[in-house]
Amino acid sequence: MSDNDHIHTPVLLERCIELLGPALAKPGAVFVDATLGMGGHSAGILERFPEAILVGLDRDPEALAIAGQRLERFGDRVHLVHTVYDGIREAVEGEGFDHIDGVLFDLGVSSLQLDRVERGFSYSKDAPLDMRMDSTSELTAETVLAEYSEADLRRIFRDYGEEKLAGRYAARIVEARETQPLVRSGQLVDLITKATPVAVQRQGHPAKRVFQALRIEVNQELAVLERAIPAAIDLLAVGGRIVVEAYQSLEDRIVKRELQKRSTSSAPAGLPVELPEHRPELTLLIRGAELADDDEKAANPRATPVRLRAAERVRPASTTSDTRRR
């Protein structure tokens, strides 16, 4: 076991394995880890299902390199692809597969990104205002703060951070950048703190929602997720399963909406007989969203906000066959 195996604790690993298990127990089952990170979930799954094949996706080259070392012991069962997870179909087909048997999304910022101070994701440490999950992309938080209009800043703080003081913060940022560029997270935290009433500060760190909003904007997380969940479901073979771990309400809403839509009949109201093409594509494996229990939260504090959802494909899409190549 390498040192990388101790880097972080995967959230709800045993529960994810339990939910994915029935789909991955057969020989040659293809599993996609759409948010590979440092490979913690994938390592556990590959150990538990010794005939499963992994296609691991991540937009972060550093994470891919670490995961590659961690998963090296599984040999040619591992296929790693540098891509954002809305490129799941291209990645899977590029590795030679038509369908998949299981897929996991562990959303949000990864342990690696949070723990690397220089990446600028944390409001508790002073660092360059970067926030890119993919260091090869161009847009940074510094660019957003320097170039976006006051109206656009207000919009992203409101829509992506659900921040009630979005207008106030946007105005202060535009005012401040006229005299000094905002290039470090400490500057932004100081500005936001000074603009926040003391009573509001007592409710939690005033910069939390603004940093979340900037991270989502820089990485286009919600737009990517809206494309990725349907694409992943479309790739699932009958009997295949999707498991999603979300950590904030905006992500969870997108996941919930798509799973509910696919697990509901599309037959027009009043139709006497439900035609096969109107039957639900999915059946939900969890009613609502499942939360981490107290033991999990104590062992792994990053599990505290998680919302877990899962579903199984019960009928093929009418435009695809259920054959695959290996």
Binding-site entries for S-adenosyl-L-methionine: 39-41, 58, 85, 106, 113
With 0-12 / 13-18 / 19 or more C-beta atoms within 10 angstroms meaning exposed / middle / buried, residue 217 is buried
Residue listed under structure tokens 């040619």: 76
Angle at the Cα of 72 (from 68 to 5), degrees rounded to 5? 75
Phi-psi region of 270 (alpha: psi -120 to 50; beta: other; left: phi over 0): left
Q: Tokens 């499942």 belong to which residue? A: 290
The sign of the CA dihedral 30, 15, 229, 70 is negative
Binding positions: 39-41, 58, 85, 106, 113
Backbone angles phi, psi at 137, to 5 degrees: -80, 170
The terminus-to-terminus CA distance of the chain in angstroms comes to 29
Q: What are the distances in angstroms from CA 151 to CA 170, 209, 324?
A: 8, 17, 49
How crowded is residue 13: how many other Cβ atoms within 10 Å of its Cβ?
19
Distance of CA 211 to CAs 63, 170, 216, Å?
A: 21, 13, 9
Please answer whether residues 58 and 36 qualify as being in contact, where contact means their C-beta atoms are separated by less than 8 angstroms. Answer: yes
State the Cα–Cα distance between residues 33 and 39, nearest whole angstrom: 9
Residue 118's φ and ψ, nearest 5 degrees, are: -65, -15
The position carrying tokens 């229990």 is: 293
